[in-house]
Amino acid sequence: MEVKRYHRFSKKNRDPRFQDKDIGYARFIAQTGKDIPWHISRFHPNYKFTEAEPTPIETLKMAEEIGKKHGLKYIHFGNVLL
């Protein structure tokens, strides 16, 4: 019998202009499964979109707290050295 395995995760590039979207996004992931990893990537200006500022580390930590309040177990940062 063949056994199929799936790896589910959610990745979000954190644009500092859209902070209010984290609550809805964390709620959606939690409703789908609290064991789904949430990868929050830091935005940094690159190529043709250079007029915006990089996402502050504090904003990533705020998104992490929102995820924890919704019961997410695995929250990871990307594009950042802590």
C-alpha span between 82 and 80 (Å, rounded) = 6
Query: In the chain, what are the domain boundaries?
Result: 11-78
Of residues 24 and 69, more confidence is placed in: 69
Closest CA to 8 of 23, 28, 19, 66: 28
pLDDT one-digit tens code per residue, 30-54:
898 899 888 888 888 888 878 878 8
Rounded to two decimals, the pTM is: 0.73
For the beta carbon of residue 67, count every other beta carbon within 10 angstroms.
Answer: 23
Asked if 64 and 25 count as a contact pair (C-beta separation under 8 A), the reply is no
